[in-house]
Amino acid sequence: MHSAPAGEPAPGTPEPRPAAGPQEPVPVVLAGARGHGRWHRENLRRLVAAGRVRLAGVCELEPLTAEELDGFEGVEQSADLGSLLERTGARVTVVCTPIHTHTDLALTAARAGSHLLLEKPPAPSYAEFERMAKGVAAEGAACQIGFQSLGSHALDAIAELLADGAVGEMRGIGAAGAWVRGTDYYTRAPWAGRRTLDGRDVVDGVLTNPLAHAVVTALRIDGSDRADAISGIELEQYRANDIEADDTSSLRLRTARGTRVTVAVTLCAERPGEPYVVVHGVRGRITFWYKQDRVLLERDGREPEERVHARTDLLENLLAHLRDGTPLLVPPERTGAFMRIVEAVRTGPAPVPLPGDAWHTEPGGARRPDGAGPRRVVRGVDALVAASAGSLALFSELGAGWAHRPPGRPQPAATSRTTPPTTGDQGATP
């Protein structure tokens, strides 16, 4: 059991500084335009076409090519974010850089008078998170953390279902994610799959980065996303790949509300599936596939009901906040509980290497769902991930031969349902 660190970023969101007029595109700088930054480039293209923003600058170590900047005009480029912001006067900065650079770049942007969309995880440690959140607030800058799933309108719909007692008293929340990542995923950048790099915390594991949305979405559904909302954390971290961080892990926490929440995730799936969060009630369950904004309501004695909801883009929400004070969907204080989990991962034991007979290497090309290079596959992990979300149990409590229960840990109480959702895995490649 890991105790959570004390302290929380200053509450409240600072008053936004005046932004460009309602008809004038807001100048934006993108820091980190490759890798996941490509997604932000496409989103910015959409908003440029709509007349909402103007891409004023790109901060990258290697300048983007004309092809990469297709659809944008007059974009300045520099590897120095401070000087780029000074030259462009950008009112918004999107930070999509390595995890261990987030705090310093966020503070650089805030000091330059630029508001922030900061990619997740916001920082590699709780201390860095506090330094970032307090420093940005002191500069009067608005900051949105890039957990895109928290823009889903499905969250309000789920809250209404729970308030109406649709599935009865809540028994717990389980989250599951089974993704495919090859060995090339860990060689793409020096920080990939690292716990530390050159003496600095990175904490790039499956729980804290690629499938962090599963964690933060479960916390938001329970209304337990602030730093004081976690009362206890149990972690089981493993790795099949030759990395420092975890690629296959299970987590169980108890919230201050008394809710039991589990998260089971892997990047070594037998086949890729859509990650989901399932709310267990005494009379049914609600399953939320958060990348698809899709909600399935299953109640005893009634036909299942499914609905796909809309989503608010987090950059558009930030622009609305600057324009008319619309509340931010993901200000730093609403990620405090997630950062306590990051801290538990950072300070906990290193992930346990899985024995050689627990995984095998699958070749790339046609044998891999995305046609890329070879990958390591943990045998039976897809079923384990689903069983964890269904029973609120850790891997060691589900009979995995490579997972070991710490002495004295009691068996978990079963929920009313242990089977995976009836319409869950669509086999989509993430």
Domain assignment present for residue 320? The answer is: no
Question: Between these two residues, 262 and 414, which has the higher pLDDT value?
Answer: 262
Residues contacting 48, CB < 8 A, separation 6+? 25, 54, 55, 71, 72
Domain assignment present for residue 412? The answer is: no
Domain assignment present for residue 339? The answer is: yes
Among candidate residues 12, 20, 117, the one with its CA nearest the CA of residue 323: 20
> By residue range, what is the domain housing residue 177?
153-310+335-397
Determine phi and psi for 158, rounding to 5 degrees: -65, -40
pLDDT at 370: 64
Of 123, 149, 175, the one marking the end of a domain is: 149
| One domain for residues 76 and 32 | yes
pLDDT tens digits, residue range 67-82? 999 999 999 999 999 9
Q: What's the angle, vertex CA 427, arms to CA 423 and CA 430, rounded to 5? A: 115
Domain assignment present for residue 7? The answer is: no
Residue pointed to by tokens 């909600």:
295
As a whole number of angstroms, the distance between CA 34 and CA 68 comes to 9
| One domain for residues 185 and 306 | yes
| One domain for residues 138 and 160 | no
Distances (CA, A) of 112 to 37, 324, 360: 22, 22, 50
Q: How many domains does the chain contain in total?
A: 2
pLDDT at 404: 81
| One domain for residues 57 and 165 | no
Judge if pTM exceeds 0.75. yes
As a whole number of angstroms, the distance between CA 98 and CA 120 comes to 10
Among candidate residues 105, 122, 124, 123, the one with its CA nearest the CA of residue 114: 105
Domain assignment present for residue 404? The answer is: no
pLDDT at 153: 98
Q: Is the pLDDT of residue 416 over 50?
A: no
| SS3 of 252-320 | EEEECCCCEEEEEEECECCCCCCCEEEEEECCEEEEEECCCCEEEEEECCCCCEEEECCECCHHHHHHH
| One domain for residues 125 and 230 | no
| One domain for residues 167 and 138 | no
Domain assignment present for residue 319? The answer is: no
| One domain for residues 166 and 273 | yes
| One domain for residues 135 and 283 | no
Of 126, 149, 172, the one marking the end of a domain is: 149
Q: What is the CATH number of the domain that holds 33?
A: 3.40.50.720
pLDDT tens digits, residue range 325-368? 999 999 999 999 999 999 999 999 999 999 999 999 999 776 66
Provide the residue type at 170 as one letter. M
Among candidate residues 95, 204, 80, 73, the one with its CA nearest the CA of residue 141: 95
Bridge partners, residue 28, by sequence: 55, 92
**In this prediction, what percent of the chain has a pLDDT beyond 90?**
86
* Cis ω for the linkage preceding 332 (within 30 of 0): no
Residue pointed to by tokens 């335009």:
33
Domain assignment present for residue 137? The answer is: yes
Domain assignment present for residue 21? The answer is: no
Among candidate residues 329, 327, 335, 332, the one with its CA nearest the CA of residue 110: 332
| One domain for residues 225 and 363 | yes
